[in-house]
């Protein structure tokens, strides 16, 4: 009996619980899960800058027990050739791409999944940016207040 092969594509920057839940869910949909991780160069072409370099992101994704194979995603056009090359049965991507990959239905089943609520790489990056904007003086004052509270409770 032929194995059911599932493929997805993504940047997987700042790996978080939403990524893990996605990969676990995708693995449950088939026998083999292929994950194409966007390269740094491809992301720059999309106007995205990653915090974690491609090699590290790919290594993190490859270490996840649900993932059977990791490929570099280097261009938009490779999806059709990947689907053909690996005999993919199901292409899955986030619902923020709804309808954008319907042309792949000619080659395999296409599914759009809802994102994990309450967590996203964009949200994490925004939080880091907000923290970076806090002045050194405000951080020192906050530490002083915490130290006084700790002493009061001791």
List the catalytic residues: 46, 48
- Give the separation between CA 52 and CA 142, rounded to whole angstroms: 29
User: Smallest Cα–Cα separation from 90: which of 114, 109, 70, 112?
Assistant: 109
User: Smallest Cα–Cα separation from 54: which of 72, 67, 68?
Assistant: 72
DSSP summary character for residue 115? P
User: Smallest Cα–Cα separation from 74: which of 151, 138, 15, 9?
Assistant: 9
- Give the separation between CA 113 and CA 88, rounded to whole angstroms: 17
């Amino acid at each position: 009996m032929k194995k059911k092969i599932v493929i997805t594509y993504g940047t997987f920057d700042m790996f978080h619980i939403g990524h893990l839940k996605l990969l676990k869910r995708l693995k449950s949909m088939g026998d083999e899960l292929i994950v194409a991780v966007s390269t740094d160069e491809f992301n720059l072409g999309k106007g995205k800058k990653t915090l974690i370099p491609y090699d590290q992101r790919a290594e993190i994704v490859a270490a996840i027990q649900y993932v059977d194979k990791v490929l570099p995603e280097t261009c938009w056009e490779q999806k059709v050739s990947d689907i053909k090359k690996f005999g993919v049965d199901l292409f899955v991507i986030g619902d923020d791409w709804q309808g954008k990959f319907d042309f792949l239905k000619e080659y395999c089943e296409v599914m759009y999944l809802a994102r994990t609520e309450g967590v996203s790489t964009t949200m994490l990056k925004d939080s880091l940016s907000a923290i970076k904007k806090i002045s050194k003086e405000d951080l020192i004052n906050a530490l002083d207040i915490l130290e006084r509270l700790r002493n009061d409770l001791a």
